């Protein structure tokens, strides 16, 4: 996707975040595979340094969501936008701290999960949730304000969001907030024994796939805009062609015997050629967009299957 349509800060951040997630997953799983290889299960390691190094990639991957929110909000200006920017920057400090604590405990103990690590995960998710909530409310505020300026002040908030490109971004923020709350309740709070952490695994899987979801959403949104532009151009060319033919027929009504008949024939062929090239262009672009949609529908299907498989594995 980045090679074909990746332009601007938003696409670069999506690309780098995806790379960070890929390298983080490779390093983490390779370390686990090395520690748990057959014949050395009982060996103890004083420090597993790759688990701490791995946090660099997870920090870059997970905190890219608030940064993507900021990039989306750059079109807005005002006190709310500045406040949101400062909050996202400030909350990065405690988030990095909690993630380093997770990496330190993993490095020290030599495994990925225990009670302390679950607790630090809950704190990190809580910080991320605060950032996401503020970004979401900032987006809602400015989208509502924007539509009020375009005489849609009485429209409900869900209509505002449906007419904007922020739908999936807000949905990802909501999942992040819900995951933070449930993670704290199931691992840190007094009710942790009543709510098994594995119950909320599907939401964690969705959060891990947030970058792919946002990339597909941005891709479809971009090609939807291109398709609308092509259709609008085709309609305009069709209207111009009709007007040209009307003028041409009017000229034929006043044609005199001495006028060269080839002039009208040549003129009448131009719109046809223009219209034919437009139709060919529309067909080519439509086929390209259709193929792209099929590819990413397939990706979405595999994403859902992956979430279900992970949920079944972790719920065992």
Q: What are the pLDDT digits (tens) for 194-209? A: 766 667 777 777 777 8
Question: Could you list the residue range(s) of the whole structural domain that residue 270 is in?
Answer: 216-316
Angle at 171 between CA 165 and CA 173, to 5 degrees: 105
The total number of structural domains in the chain stands at 2
Domain check: are 161 and 275 in the same one? no
Domain check: are 184 and 263 in the same one? no
Cα separation of 53 and 37, whole Å? 21
Domain check: are 18 and 138 in the same one? yes
The 3-class secondary structure across 246-275, one letter per residue, is: HHHHHHHHCCCCCCCHHHHHHHHHHHHHHH
* pTM metric for this prediction: 0.67
Show the tokens assigned to 111: 């495994």
Domain end position, chosen among 208, 224, 251: 208
Domain check: are 199 and 223 in the same one? no
Domain check: are 59 and 152 in the same one? yes
Domain end position, chosen among 208, 226, 249: 208
Domain check: are 53 and 117 in the same one? yes
Domain check: are 47 and 165 in the same one? yes
> Per-residue pLDDT for 57 more than 90?
yes
Task: Calculate mean pLDDT across residues 278-289.
Answer: 48
Domain check: are 9 and 46 in the same one? yes
Domain check: are 189 and 277 in the same one? no
Domain check: are 195 and 233 in the same one? no
Domain end position, chosen among 174, 192, 208: 208
Domain check: are 31 and 176 in the same one? yes
Q: What are the pLDDT digits (tens) for 153-202? A: 444 545 545 545 567 777 777 887 787 777 777 776 676 667 666 677 77
Domain check: are 249 and 289 in the same one? yes
């Amino acid at each position: 996707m980045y090679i074909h349509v990746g332009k601007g800060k938003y696409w670069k951040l999506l690309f780098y975040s995806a790379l960070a997630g890929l390298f983080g997953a490779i390093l983490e799983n390779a370390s686990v595979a090395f520690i748990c290889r057959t014949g050395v299960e009982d060996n103890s390691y004083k420090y597993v340094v790759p688990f701490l190094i791995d946090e660099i990639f997870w920090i870059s991957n997970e905190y890219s969501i608030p940064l993507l929110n900021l990039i989306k909000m750059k079109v807005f200006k005002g006190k709310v936008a500045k406040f949101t920017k400062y909050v996202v920057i400030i909350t990065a400090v405690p988030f990095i701290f909690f993630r380093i604590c997770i990496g330190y405990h993993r490095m020290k103990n030599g495994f990925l999960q225990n009670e302390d690590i679950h607790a630090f995960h809950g704190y990190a998710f809580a910080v991320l949730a605060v950032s996401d909530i503020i970004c979401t409310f900032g987006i809602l505020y400015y989208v509502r304000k924007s539509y009020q300026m375009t005489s849609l002040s009485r429209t409900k908030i869900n209509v505002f969001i449906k007419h904007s490109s922020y739908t999936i971004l807000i949905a990802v923020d909501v999942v992040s907030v819900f995951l933070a709350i449930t993670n704290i309740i199931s691992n840190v709070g007094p009710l942790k024994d009543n709510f098994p952490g594995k119950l909320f695994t599907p939401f964690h899987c969705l959060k891990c796939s947030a970058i792919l979801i946002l990339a597909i959403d941005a891709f479809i949104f971009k090609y939807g805009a291109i398709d609308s532009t092509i259709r609008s151009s085709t309609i305009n060319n069709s209207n111009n062609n009709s007007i040209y033919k009307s003028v041409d027929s009017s000229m034929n009504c006043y044609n005199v015997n001495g006028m060269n008949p080839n002039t009208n024939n040549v003129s009448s062929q131009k719109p046809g050629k223009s219209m034919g090239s437009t139709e060919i262009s529309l067909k080519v672009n439509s086929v390209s967009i259709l193929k792209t949609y099929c590819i990413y529908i397939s990706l979405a299907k595999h994403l859902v299957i992956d979430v279900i498989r992970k949920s079944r594995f972790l719920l065992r």
